[in-house]
Structure 1
Amino acid sequence: MAHKFEIYKDKAGEFRVRFKYNSEVIFSTEGYASKSGAKSAVESIKKHVGDAEVVEIE
């Protein structure tokens, strides 16, 4: 698979999500106190990404 979400624990002990495409990190999230919070973030991203508006800032 060329793309994936990774849930990991950072140095501060918070759970974060990063999205990778071809081994390159495209974005990562804020820290969450629990792994379930990070998993909820993934589900929210999956659910809403198709509806995301594209805004050009010049």
Structure 2
Amino acid sequence: MSDEIARLTEKAKAAQVELERATQALYTDINNPAYIGQYTQAVLKCDKAEAELEAALAKFKYKKF
């Protein structure tokens, strides 16, 4: 289970890095539809990764106690 949590933690970190890059790109031209799309996709990917990590942590805590 801890391997899964470690994997999901890395996935969430990677999604956060991708979101940061998309945010920086968006700041260069906020009217560019491609940057807006990249930013939106990065936000969704980050949200999904964080939700998966939270679910795994909750499951781990439940099994632990």
TM-score normalised by L of structure 1: 0.34
Q: Which entry has the higher C-alpha Rg, 1 or 2?
A: 2
Which structure shows the bigger proportion of residues in strand conformation? 1
Which structure shows the bigger proportion of residues in helix conformation? 2
TM-score normalised by L of structure 2: 0.31
